[in-house]
Amino acid sequence: MSKYDAIEKLLNPSSIAVVGASHNVQKHGGRLIEHLLKHQYQGEIYPVNPKGGEIQGLACYKSILDIPKIPDLACLLIAPGLLMEALRDCALKNIKMVMIHASGFAETGKDGEVLQQEIVDFAKEHNIRICGPNTIGIANVNNRVFASFSMAMTSSEIPMGGGISYITQSGAIGGAMLSQGWEKKIGINKWISSGNEADLNASDYLEYAVDDPSTGTVCIFLEGLADGEGFKAALAKAANKKKPVIIYKNGRSDIGQKSVKSHTGVLAGNHDVYKAVFKQFGAVNAEDLDDLFDYAIAFDSPNNLKSSRIGIISTSGGACTIVTDQCVKYGLDVPDISNESIKKLAEMSPEFSTPQNPFDTTAQILNDPGSFKKSLEVFIEDKNIDALVLMLTTIGGTIASKVAEDIIELSKKTEKPMYVAWTIAESLAKDGMNKLREAKIPLYPSAERAVKALAAVQQHMNFLEEWEGKKEEYSSFFFSSSKKEISNS
């Protein structure tokens, strides 16, 4: 089975066998079933446990061989010592896609490497594809597939219809970030914890995501690669399709690289080489962990950036200076607005305000909440401005909701993107903030994070313009079939 078809079965299974199923939802085999049921998985679930009977209201089978149909996916939540027997049963049952959740393989040293290789050899012999081992699972939100024991699956409000795919080589960090992303209504539709990548690897998952029509942006938490050439090929395909790939690479120090090896079994490689490859093939480098989703929501917003000419509106003069300084830091232009715009702002603003870019609406917004909308309309109409950074400070309560609604209304009437930095405690403006998130208006807790995300989009836009002129130069190189560790390529 091709890698693409295997990942298709992994993310869109019509039936799932859960080997190591349990009544106890504190155990991995019980929790995974609970998550499938909680989110109303539409396919068949086949619990497998030698005791048989019934588990969580589902008929339980004593053996994989007793399942009445051939499942698309088998989730193996059993000890390493039981895996070979389970794989043999999968082969006899003609199951072609398995997800191995157990740890204790290449990440533990030579003995674990031998056991992992034994599993890989058997799987290849019987045309079985593997996700893992040492994976905490996958999620496909739109198809209601939550085949994972991660606590992230207990999230009560998971946004539907998102365009972000998230691939992570760290299960625990990946799941934690996923839960935060969903809580903030970030549209993460597909999520893959790749584990040790004994078979299917980050390059394969990236290529799948790039080909997936429902994915617009790809996020990757990357620790190391065994298939550097395949990864470059997938990045090149993403560039050709103009799909942004955002990567946070850890294991940057010598000590950090040893840590990666100790819990994934993968070599981390030289960080400077990774950064050079990211730059060459247009991957967006996330320097900080927060950048990963900060950048993703910027790319996932409905309006596209066309240039670096930024208009700044804030409810504070000091905030105007902060945003301006950040724009200068990241190489973004803060141009003068037109004389016509200056005149309009002067007519609608208090005498003590200064009609310019950046523009301080002053505390007048507390007396006249609609004044922010009027100012924003002026900047939207100004031909010198192509994007807006709006910094709201201590705007809360009903005024916050009103301002958010105005921003959303105007965003639908213009192609100019808007990035909002809102510094008040979320509890004081929760309704307004959630309205912006639901409308996919990029929202950040600080000016620096907002401007940094905007700059990342600008840099990727510049890369795509350059890529059009040079992609043929690399065509034979990055589709090489050789497989090397990226730091040696």
pLDDT for the residue numbered 376: 97
- Would you give the DSSP letter of residue 224? -
Name the phi and psi angles at 220, rounded to 5: -135, 125
pLDDT for the residue numbered 202: 97
Within 13 Å of residue 455, how many CA atoms lie on the same side as its CB?
20
Q: pLDDT tens, 225-241?
A: 988 999 999 999 999 99
Query: How many percent of the chain have pLDDT more than 90?
Result: 83
3-state DSSP call for residue 246?
strand
CB neighbours of 62 closer than 8 A, spacing ≥ 6? 48, 49, 50, 51, 52
What are the residues facing 75 on neighbouring strands? 18, 99
Name the phi and psi angles at 391, rounded to 5: -110, 110
pLDDT for the residue numbered 483: 38
* pLDDT band at 482; cut points 50, 70, 90: very low
Average pLDDT over residues 350-372: 82
What angle is formed at CA 69 by the lines to CA 64 and CA 73, rounded to 5 degrees?
65
**What is the DSSP code string of 2-13?**
-HHHHHHHHHS-
pLDDT for the residue numbered 304: 87
pLDDT for the residue numbered 264: 52
pLDDT > 80? residue 473? no
pLDDT for the residue numbered 487: 38
Residues 65, 71, 73, 75, CA torsion sign: negative
pLDDT > 90? residue 265? no
**What span, in angstroms and rounded, lies between the C-alpha atoms of 431 and 446?**
18
Question: Residues 129, 140: contact at Cβ < 8 Å?
Answer: no
Average pLDDT over residues 293-310: 94
Average pLDDT over residues 168-190: 96
pLDDT > 80? residue 476? no
pLDDT for the residue numbered 481: 37
* pLDDT band at 253; cut points 50, 70, 90: low
The neighbour count for residue 392, using CB atoms within 10 Å, is 29
pLDDT > 60? residue 293? yes
* pLDDT band at 75; cut points 50, 70, 90: very high
Helix residue spans in 25-134 (DSSP H): 28-38, 83-93, 110-125
**What span, in angstroms and rounded, lies between the C-alpha atoms of 239 and 271?**
22
pLDDT > 50? residue 470? yes
Task: Name the average pLDDT for the chain.
Answer: 92
**What span, in angstroms and rounded, lies between the C-alpha atoms of 342 and 362?**
16
pLDDT > 70? residue 475? no
Helix residue spans in 96-193 (DSSP H): 110-125, 171-183
Q: pLDDT tens, 399-453?
A: 999 999 999 999 999 999 999 999 999 999 999 999 999 999 999 999 999 999 9
Residue 383 structure tokens? 């031909």
Question: Is it true that the peptide bond before 358 is cis, omega within 30 degrees of 0?
Answer: yes
* pLDDT band at 484; cut points 50, 70, 90: very low
**What span, in angstroms and rounded, lies between the C-alpha atoms of 122 and 288?**
40
202 residue type, one letter: A
CB neighbours of 415 closer than 8 A, spacing ≥ 6? 303, 304, 306
What are the residues facing 46 on neighbouring strands? 17
Average pLDDT over residues 292-309: 94
Q: pLDDT tens, 313-356?
A: 999 999 999 999 999 999 999 999 999 999 999 998 877 779 99
pTM of structure: 0.93
Helix (H) or strand (E) holding 58: strand 58-59
**What span, in angstroms and rounded, lies between the C-alpha atoms of 305 and 386?**
7
* pLDDT band at 480; cut points 50, 70, 90: very low
